[in-house]
């Protein structure tokens, strides 16, 4: 299955989330996230132009914690909130008087999951949507974090 997805586009190398935020293309395209350097793919997303910032802009929104209720940011936050150890750590911070904003918690959720990302440029939003759908379809039956509403 991974070979099928690999053949769909010219993907970047996998890299840690923070590195991807600095290096991803500013063009529209598709990105994938996995847990750990060799873990399973858990999320497939796309980005349009985003004011000329493309995929890099989308990843930046996640890194800033501003996307706690959409896309990969929401998926990461939901997984962190389902982890009792992570929640206990946040509670300990609160009890010690260290108050964090929702954006800081959302960013902490991304960090907690040790995400690695790769991407490909598609030229425009329409092609990004089509490739995102094709990749998700190819991964049918796997436990992706994507939520379709």
Q: Does residue 3 surpass a pLDDT of 60?
A: yes
User: 100: helix, coil or strand?
Assistant: coil
Do the beta carbons of residue 45 and residue 71 sit within 8 Å?
yes
pLDDT of residue 147: 67
pLDDT of residue 54: 93
pLDDT of residue 1: 59
pTM: 0.89
In angstroms, the CA 13 to CA 29 distance is 15
Residue-wise pLDDT for 13-57, tens only, equals: 999 999 999 999 999 999 999 999 999 999 999 998 877 789 999
Residue 67: pLDDT band with limits 50, 70, 90: confident
| Mean of all residue pLDDT scores within the chain | 91
Neighbours of 32 (CB within 10 A): 23
Q: Does residue 8 surpass a pLDDT of 90?
A: yes
Do the beta carbons of residue 40 and residue 114 sit within 8 Å?
no
Residue with structure tokens 């991807």?
20
Give the residue from 44, 70, 55 showing the smallest Cα distance to 20: 55
Residue with structure tokens 């940011």?
73
pLDDT of residue 149: 47
pLDDT of residue 57: 93
Do the beta carbons of residue 59 and residue 21 sit within 8 Å?
yes
User: 127: helix, coil or strand?
Assistant: helix
């Amino acid at each position: 299955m991974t070979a099928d997805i690999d053949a769909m586009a010219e993907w970047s190398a996998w890299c840690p989330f923070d590195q991807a935020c600095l290096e991803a293309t500013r063009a529209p395209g598709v990105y994938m996230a996995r847990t750990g350097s060799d873990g399973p793919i858990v999320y497939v997303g796309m980005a349009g132009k985003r004011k000329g910032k493309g995929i890099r802009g989308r990843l930046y929104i996640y890194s800033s914690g501003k996307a706690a209720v959409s896309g990969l940011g929401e998926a990461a936050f939901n997984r962190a909130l389902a982890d009792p150890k992570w929640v206990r750590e946040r509670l300990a911070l609160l009890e010690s008087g260290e108050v964090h904003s929702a954006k800081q918690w959302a960013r902490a959720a991304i960090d907690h999951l040790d995400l690695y990302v790769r991407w490909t440029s598609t030229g425009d939003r329409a092609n990004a949507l089509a490739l995102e759908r094709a990749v998700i379809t190819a991964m049918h039956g796997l436990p992706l974090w994507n939520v379709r509403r």
